Amino acid sequence: MNAAWALLARDLRLALRQSGDWLMPLGFFLLVVTLFPLAITPEPKKLAVMAPGVIWVGALLAMLLSLDSLFRQDLDDGSLEQLLVAPAPLPLLVLAKVAVHWLQTGFCLVLLAPVAAVMLFLDMKVLPVLIGTLLLGTPVLSLIGAIAAALTVALRRGGVLVPLITLPLLVPVIVFATGAVQAAAAGMPVAGYLALLGAFLVLALTLVPFAVAAALRIAIGG
């Protein structure tokens, strides 16, 4: 645990020094939310219906932008090899790195969700449900994306492959997250949707760190 906390603190310090790496996805998210009404329709009622899907697709694309750098910087400076041979369990170290990625992108997107909801005329009574789906779903995006980032870390232009590997696996998260917000807007129960998202998160937290650790060993040749 001490090694994982040290790695988490180190990556957070590096993220604060390289603010462009986490500001770019957030700027992209706001750009998507801003341009969507201009491209489709400015009518508030239609935008309110499409708002959950727009916000979630924007969040997904924004997080994909930063996944390629999850392990690549460590590979470039040689610290990734040190992680592979460290006495600490590699899945625990992977979980620390994924947590930093989520704090940089997913958590910041949660904070921007009210702004996006206002811009798309989403009913404020469903805002808590939207935030709940983002809190449960965005960590799953980071975890699943980490598998693709690990598999392609040693490839040139591997970032092009990350969305192709990741997107099919994330379709259920998008479907249930947007369905929860739409159900809340219609006055229907949302507990089932949130329970499924919570189950996805627990399953990802349990299995993905081991899958990422194995992928890193395969990619680095260890």
**What residue ranges do the domains of the chain occupy?**
2-220
Closest CA to 184 of 115, 121, 120, 127: 127
* CA 126 to each of CA 41, 59, 156, 183: distance values in angstroms, whole numbers, following the listed order: 22, 18, 43, 9
User: In which band, very low, low, confident or very high, does the pLDDT at 208 lie, cut at 50, 70 and 90?
Assistant: very high
The span from the CA of 48 to the CA of 185, in Å, is 9
Q: Report helix, strand or coil for 219.
A: helix
Question: What is the pLDDT at residue 20?
Answer: 65
Question: What is the pLDDT at residue 126?
Answer: 93
Q: Comparing 104 with 158, which gets the higher pLDDT?
A: 104
Does residue 18 carry a pLDDT above 80?
A: no
Contact 4, 87 (CB under 8 A): no
The span from the CA of 90 to the CA of 19, in Å, is 27
The span from the CA of 63 to the CA of 145, in Å, is 9
In this predicted model, what pLDDT tens digit does every residue of 122-157 receive, in sequence order?
A: 889 999 999 999 999 999 999 999 998 888 887 776
Does residue 164 carry a pLDDT above 80?
A: yes
47-64: average pLDDT: 90
Does residue 91 carry a pLDDT above 70?
A: yes
| Mean pLDDT score of the chain | 87
